[in-house]
Amino acid sequence: MARSAPASTSPVIGTVKGPGENGNQYVFITADNRQVKIGEFVYYTVDLADMANAQILGKISERRLIDHLPDRIFADPDIDPEAIAALVGFAHPNPEIYEVTVDVVGHFHPALGFMNPRVAPDPGAKVCLADDESLRQIINKKQPQAVGSAHIGSLLLRPGGRVPVALDVKELVSTHMAILAGTGSGKSYTAGVLIEELLSPYNRAAVLIFDPHGEYGTLTELRGHPSFASDDGYSPEVKILTPDDIRIRMSSLDYYDILTLLPDMSDRQQAILNKAFSLLGKHKFGEHRWDVQDLISACYESDRTTDDEGNEKTGSSAPALEWKLGKLERSDYFHRVQHLAPKDLFSPGQVTVLQMNEISQEEQQVICAAVLRQSYQARMNTAKEKITPDDENYLPYPVFILIEEAHRFAPAHEPARCKQILRTILSEGRKFGMGVGLITQRPGKLDSDVLSQCMSQFLMRIVNPVDQDSLKYGVEAAGRDLLKELPSLTKGQVIVSGACVNTPVLCQVRQRLTKHGGETMNAPEAWLSHFQRHHQQARQLEKAAPARAGKKAETFGGVSIE
């Protein structure tokens, strides 16, 4: 028997037909094509033991047309289907009927979150569209501009910003996050919005960004920006470290770091190098900061043998290692004393950008691994009170690290220096207040163990089937029904799911307050500007200048040969 509509201002859009394919779904019938969209929120009401007229929220996951006017009416484009329908006596204003599948989310409990009542709606129960005000309260764990919130945009299916989407920064940072998107879909832009929120007066986070392409230099606009100022005088600090500023202390590297920087090592050379590292720990270098020359000396000592007559002999591996270690000594980024210590990189209310766009892939790997390793040790030792405030590794506050092009640092099927330390931080960093955010355009190439540890996901337009398949295992079950929307998303549209929101949502990213640094270059415009009159005149003058100066006489051994 049909139930009466619930006492609500929300419009009734359909009537329950019965259960869906699984126990968490139901199906309703509607003629309203305009408001029934994939991802839209609806509800039915039911009396529970502890709550009368509880609104059971659900999300539309599928719809199909089950009844309509005969196809013959639509075959001729010159015929008005409504006119033909009226002639045959069919005067219903909405002749199309849809069967809509809804996945139950549950009823919202302020203390416990969403709870699935396991009470299916009766056939004939009315289905209502969830109103904007209810969605504002139940989607967001935090309301916009509250302490610990991050307002990143608004609900895509409620245009005009009617339902803002604000994330829970505590969950976002402590349980780690991933932004997964194809090229040009707005992943770096979305990351910029998140950083703006983290540096806002109601968060004042300590953030570090590994920036392989130099896209985050525009964050300097945060300095003195009125939108980030506070009555207590707070204003965000931005520290941009170019490749010229990056220095890693040699003695902070380990054996595997050196192996990454010195490829094509024979088994014996690896054994000698490993023994040399052990010697450094036993000798005076264990208490002091060593450099490449100290390591070379340890390699010679490790490669020294004594023959039957008591004569010392040096093998061929030590000279080969000396030649290879010369490359490390010539590097601009590794030094005996200079170092980027955790105290230099992190401070509440500060974002530090490590620009690595001029650094080789191997050196990027080692720099990233060294910084991650030392930052993790700093947080752990500070939390365990093993170090004092005057130590360069003293970090008495939580930190958040954002890694661009994460598939470079934790590739799926090949070794990488950063992968193991990333796995450690993702699995244990929560205990010590260390959060990680990963950004990649190729989730299929990102290590599955690393991706699965990110409890909050931001999914943007992805068309590659391999990358789409990889998300099925890395994204929580509640958000998988939205994955079919990935190819159709446009720039700036994102699926947010995981620990930072109460339920997965389709979101339109808000406009950034600072300039975006990762805009695609307009190639045709640059080509055309080459032929502008003032550019052509400048090139003609440049070509004419050497001719006016006269031809320089050719010389050999300092004597003119003309």
Q: How far is CA 26 from CA 13, 44, 107, 113, in A?
A: 15, 11, 15, 22
Does 537 score more than 90 pLDDT?
no
Query: DSSP letters along 117-143, please?
Result: ---PPPTT-EEEEPPHHHHHHHH-SS-
Average pLDDT of 518-531?
70
d(CA 487, CA 461): 5
Report pLDDT for 465: 77
Higher pLDDT, 554 or 192: 192
Q: What are phi and psi of 317, to 5 degrees?
A: -75, -40
Average pLDDT of 111-116?
75
Average pLDDT of 342-349?
94
% of the chain surpassing 90 pLDDT: 42
Report pLDDT for 67: 80
Does 6 score more than 70 pLDDT?
no
Does 262 score more than 70 pLDDT?
yes
User: Structure pTM?
Assistant: 0.82
Amino acid (1-letter code) at residue 176: H
The structure tokens 């945009």 sit at: 153
Sign for the pseudo-dihedral over CA of 547, 549, 550, 556? negative
Using DSSP, state whether 250 is helix, strand or coil: helix
Amino acid (1-letter code) at residue 356: M
Does 173 score more than 60 pLDDT?
yes
Average pLDDT of 474-482?
59
